[in-house]
Each structure stands twice: as C-alpha cells, then as structure tokens.
Homo-oligomer: A and B are copies of this chain.
Amino acid sequence: MIFFFHDIVYNGENYKNATSAIVGAPEWGNRTIMSSPNNFGDMIVFDDPITLDNNLHSPPIGRAQGMYFYDQKDTFSSWLGFSFVFNNTDYKGSLNFAGHDPLMNKTRDISVIGGTGDFFMTRGIATLSTDAFEGSVYFRLRVHVKLYECWKLL
C-alpha cells in the first residue's frame, strides 16, 4: 500500500490553506516561522489529506492526523505520532504510527504500532520518503505501508 500525504504549515498568512500549525516551540522560536537552527523543538499538529498519487489536488482518500516535532540540533530530524484515518469504500479504520524520522535520509522506517477497523491489531513498518519539499511551508511524504501482523475478528 503506497500513499502520499501533503502538509502545508501555517505561516501567519495562509490560514485557509494550511493543514498544520506550530503549537509548541522553544524559547527562541515562535509559532509562525520554524526555529533556527534545524527547527529544533518545533512541534506541529497536522490534519493532512492522503492521496493515491503525488498530486495535492487529487481526491483525498483519507486524512493523516497527528503531530511531529523536530528533535535534532545539528540536522533536520523529527519524531512522529499520528494516524491514517480511512472511511471509504476500500478501507474503513485507522493505522497508528510512531517513530523516528531522520528526514535527510532518502528513505526511513517508522513503526505501525496498531490499528482499528479493517486494520484491527495490525503491526508493521512504514517506509517514508520525501517526495517534495518547498521551503518550510509545503512538503509531501510518500508512505509505503507494510503490515506484518494482521488479525481477523471472526
């Protein structure tokens, strides 16, 4: 299963289009500009559309909802806690993710720590890659979800 999700960070002027917002920052940061250096300490809550291709304007098939924060002083790196939420004809339910995302790497793995509905009790790995990155406002992640534990409620 390959998905894309699209994040547009609020920068003080794009409230309508923004899909995420800085909600925590270190003392030297603020909530409309990423902190310097390397965004360390910035915490972002997001509500991002999920699409099946890399087009922001494709019909969303779900939402990626949760948070990430930047957790390294000397490079860009983050930590994610979020869910994929599906409610369509193909999938109903949620996948819960957590893990370390060293975003300067071409690919990186995070954990699928659980799921509900069609993804009841699942575990696995999601391989992330940055499919696009435009300044500090827009990025697009490609997510390859690989489920190794699947349960069926009889």
Asked if A26 and B10 make an inter-chain contact with CB atoms under 8 angstroms apart, the answer reads yes
Total copies of the chain = 3
Main secondary structure of the interface of A (DSSP, over half): strand
Complex-state Cα separation, A131 to B43, whole angstroms = 29
Give the A interface residue count (CB, 8 A). Answer: 62
In order of increasing CB-CB distance, the 7 nearest A-B pairs are A111-B114, A83-B100, A109-B116, A21-B26, A23-B24, A27-B31, A24-B24
Which residues of A are interface residues toward B (Cβ below 8 A)? 10, 12, 15, 19, 21-32, 40-43, 45-47, 63, 65-67, 69-73, 77, 79, 81-83, 85, 94, 96, 98-100, 102, 108-117, 120-121, 123-125, 148-149, 151
